């Protein structure tokens, strides 16, 4: 039976750790020029309805390093751009490919693609979830801190796709999680309820607040994202006012653990959600995080497509 990765909650704690372990192995092998053609002669279709730097390059390079190939497809190239139903596109592409990654706006569109496909579907980002990014984040945190369980992660900013996937992923692997967002920009009740349920099961803390200082207090990891994600550009001015004070800066860092690390999924708007000073001080971890998109996604591809 095929398995998809549409949201972080599709993965159990054991499956997340299994992916991270494989990602570590694949990273080691790549650094030491050890061939790992697990997906020889397999093809990944990559559907892009949102622009991308890291997602496109990491998936293309990843498939090449795994011995397979990838096809870059946009709604301008496919008949879905001219009205073909997703269910028909899904069934046709399933006859040619061994997997599909989709980066789009609607979570429902990704789920419809999965419903009608007979091959694995990977969510490369929707407005609701960003699971591949979170796997890379967890990989980076574990590389830096050597552990995941018991650490405190603080997310400062919009209760968006990153926040949704992060809270589920972090809590599942036994991390304490705090999110600080303006009152009108917290995650949906569905995600807050599910996160609370996971936190209770794992015996960890889950804090939702409108105070960045409360969230950042004693945090081992601080994470942020842009205030206006793709599709919300017309709200940029409104969001700039609403998110005033929700910036990772030296004052907020002073409240966190003295060895706290900072992550950002990029692209960053320096001077908005994070100061240039803090981004540069933590550039090593942020760009390790960026690189780890490659290794974490390769692990996902192997687990789903091999």
Residues noted as catalytic: 103, 130, 133, 225, 265, 293
Q: Is 39 within any annotated ligand binding site?
A: no
Residue 263 in 3-state DSSP?
strand
Q: Is 239 within any annotated ligand binding site?
A: no
Strands (E), 147-218: 152-156, 176-180, 206-209
How far is the C-alpha of 191 from the C-alpha of 31, rounded, in Å?
A: 37
How far is the C-alpha of 113 from the C-alpha of 101, rounded, in Å?
A: 10
Q: Is the dihedral of CA 145, 65, 98, 48 positive or negative?
A: positive
Q: Is 170 within any annotated ligand binding site?
A: no
Q: Is 25 within any annotated ligand binding site?
A: no
Q: Is 131 within any annotated ligand binding site?
A: yes
Q: Is 133 within any annotated ligand binding site?
A: yes
Q: Is the dihedral of CA 152, 17, 19, 193 positive or negative?
A: negative
Q: Is 127 within any annotated ligand binding site?
A: no
Q: Is the dihedral of CA 267, 55, 192, 229 positive or negative?
A: positive
Q: Is 140 within any annotated ligand binding site?
A: no
Nearest to 54 by CA among 271, 292, 224: 292
Q: Is 53 within any annotated ligand binding site?
A: yes
Q: Is 132 within any annotated ligand binding site?
A: yes
Q: Is the dihedral of CA 75, 81, 85, 90 positive or negative?
A: negative
In this structure, what token pair is assigned to residue 203? Answer: 């015996």
Contact 211, 131 (CB under 8 A): no
**Residues 14, 20, 23: CA angle, nearest 5 degrees:** 140
Q: Is 297 within any annotated ligand binding site?
A: no
Q: Is 266 within any annotated ligand binding site?
A: yes
Q: Is 293 within any annotated ligand binding site?
A: yes
Contact 138, 20 (CB under 8 A): yes
Contact 188, 156 (CB under 8 A): no
How far is the C-alpha of 216 from the C-alpha of 222, rounded, in Å?
A: 7
How far is the C-alpha of 125 from the C-alpha of 117, rounded, in Å?
A: 18
How far is the C-alpha of 137 from the C-alpha of 293, rounded, in Å?
A: 8
Binding residues for L-ornithine: 161, 225, 229-230
Which residues are known binding-site members for carbamoyl phosphate? 52-55, 79, 103, 130-133, 265-266, 293
Residue list for the binding site = 52-55, 79, 103, 130-133, 161, 225, 229-230, 265-266, 293
């Amino acid at each position: 039976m095929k398995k998809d990765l549409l949201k972080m909650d599709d993965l159990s704690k054991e499956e997340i750790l299994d992916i991270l372990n494989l990602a570590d192995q694949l990273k080691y092998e790549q650094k030491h020029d050890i061939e790992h053609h697990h997906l020889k002669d397999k093809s990944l279709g990559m559907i892009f309805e949102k622009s991308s730097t890291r997602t496109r390059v990491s998936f293309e390079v990843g498939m090449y390093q795994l011995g397979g190939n990838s096809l870059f497809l946009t709604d301008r190239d496919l008949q879905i751009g001219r009205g073909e139903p997703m269910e028909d596109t899904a069934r046709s592409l399933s006859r040619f490919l061994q997997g599909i990654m989709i980066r789009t706006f609607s979570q429902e569109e990704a789920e419809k693609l999965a419903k009608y496909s007979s091959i694995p579907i990977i969510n490369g980002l929707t407005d609701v979830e960003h699971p591949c990014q979170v796997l890379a984040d967890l990989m980076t945190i574990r590389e830096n801190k050597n552990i995941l369980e018991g650490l405190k992660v603080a997310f400062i900013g919009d209760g968006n796709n990153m926040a949704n996937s992060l809270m589920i992923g972090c809590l599942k692997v036994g991390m304490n999680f705090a999110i600080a967002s303006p009152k009108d920009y917290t995650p949906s009740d569905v995600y807050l309820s599910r996160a609370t349920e996971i936190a209770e099961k794992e015996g960890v803390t889950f804090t939702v607040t409108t105070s960045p200082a409360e969230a950042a207090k004693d945090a081992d990891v601080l994470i942020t994202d842009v205030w206006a994600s793709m599709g919300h550009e017309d709200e940029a001015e409104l969001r700039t006012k609403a998110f005033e004070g929700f910036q990772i800066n030296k004052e907020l860092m002073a409240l966190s653990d003295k060895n706290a690390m900072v992550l950002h999924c990029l692209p960053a708007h320096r001077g908005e959600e994070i100061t240039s000073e803090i981004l540069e001080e933590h550039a090593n971890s942020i760009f390790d995080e960026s690189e780890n998109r490659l290794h974490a996604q390769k692990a996902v591809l192997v687990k789903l497509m091999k």
